[in-house]
C-alpha cells in the first residue's frame, strides 16, 4: 500500500550540468524549506532558490545522494532520481593506483569520507592550517581545530588526506613540523588542487563551462587531383548510383561491402566500406558476358583522392570501353593512347627493363606499365599502377589495372592526373612538445610511519582483516 507523504515537498536529484560527479537537488512544494534544512545539515550547499548542490573531493556524490534520498523518503518527502544520476549510482568503479589496495570498496569510501570531513573543516573555518610543505609527491600540513584546541598533522591531498598525528598544542605541532619540513615549509594552507577548485566552483554555480570558440579551419587549398583529399567514398558511390538507374546495388549480410552491378551484368563494382586506407577498397571488373571469365579488373585503395574516383565512375557511366574483346594484345599503340596526356604535360618518361614509367614534374605522382605482366593477359596481373605520394614504394594511394583495361579509361585517368584539380585540408604546423610531467603521484608504501620521517606514508585506516 502506497502511503501519502506527510510533508508537502518534492526533491529531484540530478547530475550537475558542469561537474562530472556533483549532484543537484531541485526542491518544490509548500514545505520545501524542510527539505532545504535537512540537506544543508548533510553538507549540501544552496546555489539558487530551492536549488542545492552536493560537490565533494572524493567523487562519491552519487553514493551520498542516494543515501540522502533514502533518508528523505523515510521522513515522508518524495524524491526522484534522474536516469543519468541513477546510472552513476549503479556504476562500479574504484580509484586507479590506490595506495592501500587491500581496502575493500566500502573501506575506501570510509577513508575518502574522512578526507572529505577534513576538507570541509578547513573550508568552513573549523580547522586552521598554520603551514604546509611538499613531502615527496604529496602535500603535508599542520593545523589546529578551533573547537577543542587539538593540533593535527595532515598527510596527503584530496581523497587521501588523513590525520597522521596529533599534538597537545599548536606550538608543539609547529616545532615538530618545522624540524621535519623546514626546507619546503610555507605558511598557511596549500594552494587548492584541481579537484578542490572544481568542487568549489560546482558549489557556487550551475553554469556550464564557457566553450572556447574553435579556431576556424584553414581554407581548403586547391591541389592537383592526385594530391586531393580522399573525401567520403561511400557518398561518392551513393551519388553515382542515385544518378544512374541502370545500376543496381546490394550489400552483403555483414554490411561490410556494397556491390553495384550494371543492368547488362557485364560490369560490376565492389566497395569495401571499412578497408584501411592503404588496402583495396574498390574493385571494378568487366565481363564479356554475364557468365564469362573476367576481361579486366581495376582496384583502388581507400585513400584514393575523390577527383580520381569521380573521373573513374564518370567513365563507367558514359563510355562503353568495357566491351573490349578478349584476345586484343596490349601493344605500343595501346600504351601510347593511354599515356598521351602524361607525355603532353611533360611528365618524365623512363624505361627500366620491364618497367616503363611516367613521373610528375614534382616527383610526387606517377604511372607505371609492366611489360612482362602485359604479356600474360589471362592471369589479370597488375599491368598498370597509378600512384601518388613520396614514392612508388611508399605511395599515399595507388590504383592498379590488368592488361585489358580499356585504354580510353586509362587515358581519362591520365588526363585527370595531369590537368584535374581537387581540394585538400592543409596540415597543421608541426610542433615540438616537451614531455609533460604526470599529475598522478605513484603509489606510496602503505606502512605506517612517523609523520616526520623522510618519506611519510598514508596511515592505514582499513581493517587488518581485509588485507590480502
CATH code: domain of residue 27: 3.30.70
Same domain, 63 and 156: no
Residue 434 carries which DSSP code? P
Domain endpoint, select from 44, 63, 90:
90
Q: Output the CA–CA distances (angstroms, integers) from residue 409 to 86, 152, 285, 288, 339, in the order listed.
A: 61, 85, 13, 17, 11
Beta-bridged to residue 140, according to DSSP, are 133, 155
Place of cell 556491390: 259
Domain endpoint, select from 152, 172, 206:
206
Distance (Å, rounded) from C-alpha 342 to C-alpha 339? 5
Same domain, 124 and 165: yes
**444 is a domain residue:** no
Same domain, 243 and 198: no
Tens place of pLDDT per residue across the chain (468 aa): 445 456 888 999 999 988 878 999 999 989 999 999 999 988 899 988 999 999 999 889 999 999 999 999 998 899 999 998 998 888 877 666 677 788 888 888 899 999 999 999 998 899 999 999 998 888 999 999 998 889 999 999 999 899 999 999 999 999 999 999 988 999 999 999 888 988 888 888 776 555 556 667 678 899 999 999 999 999 999 999 999 999 998 876 566 889 999 998 899 999 998 888 899 999 999 988 888 888 899 999 999 999 999 999 999 988 654 544 444 568 889 899 999 999 999 999 999 999 999 999 999 999 999 999 988 877 678 999 999 999 999 999 999 999 989 999 999 999 999 999 999 988 654 433 333 323 333 333 333 344 454 344 555 666 543 444
Residue 147 carries which DSSP code? T
Distance (Å, rounded) from C-alpha 359 to C-alpha 347? 5
Q: For residue 396, what is its C-alpha cell?
A: 599515399
Same domain, 269 and 412: yes
Residue 19 carries which DSSP code? S
Same domain, 197 and 86: no
Query: For residue 447, what are the contacts with CB-CB under 8 A and spacing of at least 6?
Result: 457, 460
Q: How many domains does the chain have?
A: 3
Same domain, 143 and 14: no
Same domain, 237 and 332: yes
**What is the 3-class SS of 208-241, one letter each residue?**
CCCCCCCCCCCCCEEEEHHHCCCCCHHHHHHHHH
Same domain, 263 and 408: yes
pTM exceeds 0.75, yes or no: no
**390 is a domain residue:** yes
Same domain, 162 and 187: yes
What is the SS3 assignment for 304? coil
Domain that holds residue 375: 222-424
Sign for the pseudo-dihedral over CA of 459, 465, 442, 193: negative
H or E element: which one contains 340?
A: helix 332-344
Distance (Å, rounded) from C-alpha 422 to C-alpha 355? 29
Q: How many CB atoms lie within 10 A of CB 250?
A: 9
**135 is a domain residue:** yes
Same domain, 56 and 115: no
Same domain, 390 and 245: yes
Domain endpoint, select from 206, 230, 255:
206
**279 is a domain residue:** yes
Q: For residue 209, what is its C-alpha cell?
A: 563551462
Amino acid at each position: 500500500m502506497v502511503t501519502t507523504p506527510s510533508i508537502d515537498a518534492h526533491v529531484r536529484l540530478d547530475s550537475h550540468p558542469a561537474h562530472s560527479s556533483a549532484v543537484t537537488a531541485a526542491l518544490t512544494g509548500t514545505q520545501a524549506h524542510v527539505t532545504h534544512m535537512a540537506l544543508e545539515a548533510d553538507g549540501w550547499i544552496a546555489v539558487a532558490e530551492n536549488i542545492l548542490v552536493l560537490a565533494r573531493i572524493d567523487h562519491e556524490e552519487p553514493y551520498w545522494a542516494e543515501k540522502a534520498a533514502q533518508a528523505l523518503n523515510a521522513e515522508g518527502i518524495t524524491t526522484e532520481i534522474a536516469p543519468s544520476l541513477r546510472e552513476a549510482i549503479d556504476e562500479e568503479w574504484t580509484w586507479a593506483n590506490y595506495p592501500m589496495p587491500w581496502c575493500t570498496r566500502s573501506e575506501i569510501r570510509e577513508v575518502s569520507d574522512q578526507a572529505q570531513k577534513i576538507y570541509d573543516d578547513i573550508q568552513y573555518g573549523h580547522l586552521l592550517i598554520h603551514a604546509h610543505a611538499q613531502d615527496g609527491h604529496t602535500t603535508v600540513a599542520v593545523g589546529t581545530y578551533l573547537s577543542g584546541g587539538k593540533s593535527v598533522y595532515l598527510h596527503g591531498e584530496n581523497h587521501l588526506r588523513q590525520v597522521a598525528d596529533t599534538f597537545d598544542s599548536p606550538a608543539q605541532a609547529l616545532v615538530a613540523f618545522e624540524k621535519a619540513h623546514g626546507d619546503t615549509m610555507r605558511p598557511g594552507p596549500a594552494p587548492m588542487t584541481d579537484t578542490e577548485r572544481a568542487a568549489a566552483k560546482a558549489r557556487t554555480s550551475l553554469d556550464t563551462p564557457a566553450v572556447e570558440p574553435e579556431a576556424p579551419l584553414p581554407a581548403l587549398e586547391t591541389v592537383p587531383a592526385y594530391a586531393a583529399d580522399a573525401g567520403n567514398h561511400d557518398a561518392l558511390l551513393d551519388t553515382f548510383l542515385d544518378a544512374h538507374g541502370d545500376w543496381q546495388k546490394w550489400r552483403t549480410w555483414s554490411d561490410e561491402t556494397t556491390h553495384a552491378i550494371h543492368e547488362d551484368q557485364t560490369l560490376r563494382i565492389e566497395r569495401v566500406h571499412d578497408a584501411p586506407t592503404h588496402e583495396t577498397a574498390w574493385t571494378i571488373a568487366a565481363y564479356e558476358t554475364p557468365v564469362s571469365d573476367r576481361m579486366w579488373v581495376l582496384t583502388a585503395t581507400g585513400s584514393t583522392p575523390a577527383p580520381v574516383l569521380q573521373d573513374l565512375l564518370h567513365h563507367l557511366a558514359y563510355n562503353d570501353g568495357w566491351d573490349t574483346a578478349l584476345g586484343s594484345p596490349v601493344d605500343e599503340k595501346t600504351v601510347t593512347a593511354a599515356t598521351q596526356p602524361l607525355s603532353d604535360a611533360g611528365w618524365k618518361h623512363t624505361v627500366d627493363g620491364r618497367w616503363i614509367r611516367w613521373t610528375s614534374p614534382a616527383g610526387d605522382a606517377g604511372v607505371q606499365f609492366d611489360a612482362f605482366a602485359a604479356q600474360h593477359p589471362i592471369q589479370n596481373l597488375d599491368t598498370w599502377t597509378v600512384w601518388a605520394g613520396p614514392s612508388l614504394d611508399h605511395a599515399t594511394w595507388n590504383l592498379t589495372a590488368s592488361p585489358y583495361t580499356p585504354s580510353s579509361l586509362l587515358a581519362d585517368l591520365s588526363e585527370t592526373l595531369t590537368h584535374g584539380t581537387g581540394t585538400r585540408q592543409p596540415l597543421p604546423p608541426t610542433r615540438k612538445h616537451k614531455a609533460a610531467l604526470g599529475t598522478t603521484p605513484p603509489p606510496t608504501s602503505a606502512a605506517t610511519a612517523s609523520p616526520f620521517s623522510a618519506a611519510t606514508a598514508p596511515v592505514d585506516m582499513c581493517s587488518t582483516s581485509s588485507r590480502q
